[in-house]
Structure 1
Amino acid sequence: MPRPALPSFALLACVLLLLTGCGVDSEQAALCRKLIPAFDSGPITQVDAAETSGDEPSVRLTYQADGVVHWIDCRFGGRFFDERRHELVAVATDRTGTLTDTQFTMLRVWARLPYARIGLPPDSTAPRPAAGPRDWGPLLFFLQQVINAATVACVYGLLALGYTLVYGILGQINLAMGELTMIGAMVTAMGVAALGMAGLGSMPLAVLGVLATVMAFTAVQGWTMDKLVFQRLRRVHSHTPLIAAVGLSVAYQEGMRLLHGARDWWPAPILADRHELFSDGTFTVTALTSQGVILLMTAGLYALLWAIMQRTAFGRAHRACADDVEAAELVGVDVDRTVSTTFAVGGALAAAAGAVIALYYGGVNFYTGYLVGFKALAAAVVGGIGSVPGAMLGGALLGLVETFWSAYFAIAYKDIVAFGLLTLFLIYRPHGLLGKDRSRGD
Structure 2
Amino acid sequence: MAYLLQQLANAVPLAALYAALAFGYAIAFGVTKRADITYGAMFAFAGQMLLLFTDFAYNRLWLVLPAALAIGVAMSFLYSLLTGFWIGRSIMQPLVRRSANTVIVAALGVTILLMETARLASETREIWLPPLLNGTVVFWSDAAFKVTLTYIQLLNTGLMMLLIATGTLILRRTSLGRIWRAVTDDPMAAELCGTSASKVFLVAYVAAAFVATVCGILTTFYYGSMDFGAGLLFGLKVLMISAAGGYSDPLKSAGGAAGIGFAETLWTAYGPFLWRDFVVFSLLVFLLVMSRRERAIP
Normalised by the length of structure 1, the TM-score is: 0.62
Q: Report the equivalent of 2:258.
A: 396
Q: CA deviation at 1:334?
A: 0.7
Q: Report the equivalent of 1:298.
A: 160
Q: Report the equivalent of 1:231.
A: 93
1:170 to 32, 36, 43: 32
Q: CA deviation at 1:314?
A: 2.6
RCO (CA 8 Å, sep 6+): is it higher in 1 or 2? 2
Partner Cα separation in structure 2 for residue 396 and residue 235 of structure 1: 32
Q: Report the equivalent of 2:63.
A: 198
Q: Report the equivalent of 1:272.
A: 134
Aligned-partner residue type, residue 314 of structure 1: L
- 2:13 touches 2:156 (CA, 8 Å); kept in 1? yes
Partner Cα separation in structure 2 for residue 209 and residue 265 of structure 1: 16
Which has a greater percent of helix?
A: 2
Partner Cα separation in structure 1 for residue 255 and residue 7 of structure 2: 17
**Structure 1 residues 304 and 213: CA distance shift in structure 2, 3 A:** farther
- 1:158 touches 1:352 (CA, 8 Å); kept in 2? no
Partner Cα separation in structure 1 for residue 43 and residue 273 of structure 2: 23
Partner Cα separation in structure 2 for residue 366 and residue 170 of structure 1: 26
Q: CA deviation at 1:233?
A: 1.7
Match of 2:147, SS state, is strand
**Structure 1 residues 171 and 249: CA distance shift in structure 2, 3 A:** same
Give per-residue Cα distances to partners, 1:137-178, cap 9 Å, x unaligned: xx2111111111111122222222222112112211221111
Match of 2:149, SS state, is strand
User: 376-385 or 366-375: which moved more?
Assistant: 366-375
Q: Report the equivalent of 2:215.
A: 353
1:246 to 108, 112, 135: 108
Q: CA deviation at 1:397?
A: 1.2
| Equivalent runs, 1:347-426 vs 2, <5 Å | 347-426=209-288
Give per-residue Cα distances to partners, 1:368-392, cap 9 Å, x unaligned: 2221222222110011123211221
2:10 to 143, 148, 158: 148
List runs of 5+ in structure 1 lacking aligned partners.
1-138, 432-436
**Structure 1 residues 261 and 418: CA distance shift in structure 2, 3 A:** farther
Partner Cα separation in structure 2 for residue 142 and residue 219 of structure 1: 40
Partner Cα separation in structure 2 for residue 406 and residue 238 of structure 1: 36
Is 2:19 the partner of 1:157?
yes
- 1:189 touches 1:359 (CA, 8 Å); kept in 2? no
Q: Report the equivalent of 2:124.
A: 262
Give per-residue Cα distances to partners, 1:54-108, cap 9 Å, x unaligned: xxxxxxxxxxxxxxxxxxxxxxxxxxxxxxxxxxxxxxxxxxxxxxxxxxxxxxx
Partner Cα separation in structure 1 for residue 129 and residue 185 of structure 2: 43
RMSD over aligned Cα atoms: 2.1
Match of 2:126, SS state, is coil
Give per-residue Cα distances to partners, 1:330-354, cap 9 Å, x unaligned: 0111111110111111111111121
Partner Cα separation in structure 2 for residue 363 and residue 410 of structure 1: 26
Match of 1:276, SS state, is strand
Match of 1:358, SS state, is helix
**Structure 1 residues 417 and 272: CA distance shift in structure 2, 3 A:** same
Partner Cα separation in structure 1 for residue 53 and residue 117 of structure 2: 19
**Structure 1 residues 352 and 396: CA distance shift in structure 2, 3 A:** same
Q: CA deviation at 1:407?
A: 1.0
**Structure 1 residues 252 and 217: CA distance shift in structure 2, 3 A:** closer
Partner Cα separation in structure 2 for residue 214 and residue 273 of structure 1: 26
Q: CA deviation at 1:195?
A: 5.7
**Structure 1 residues 312 and 215: CA distance shift in structure 2, 3 A:** farther
Match of 1:261, SS state, is coil
Aligned-partner residue type, residue 365 of structure 1: D
Partner Cα separation in structure 2 for residue 357 and residue 227 of structure 1: 27
Q: CA deviation at 1:268?
A: 1.2
| Equivalent runs, 1:27-46 vs 2, <5 Å | none
Q: Report the equivalent of 2:151.
A: 289
List runs of 5+ in structure 2 lacking aligned partners.
none
Q: Which one has a bigger Cα radius of gyration?
A: 1
- 2:24 touches 2:212 (CA, 8 Å); kept in 1? yes
Q: CA deviation at 1:423?
A: 1.7
| Equivalent runs, 1:39-118 vs 2, <5 Å | none
Normalised by the length of structure 2, the TM-score is: 0.90
Which has a greater percent of strand?
A: 1
Q: CA deviation at 1:242?
A: 1.7
Partner Cα separation in structure 1 for residue 58 and residue 40 of structure 2: 26
Q: CA deviation at 1:214?
A: 2.8
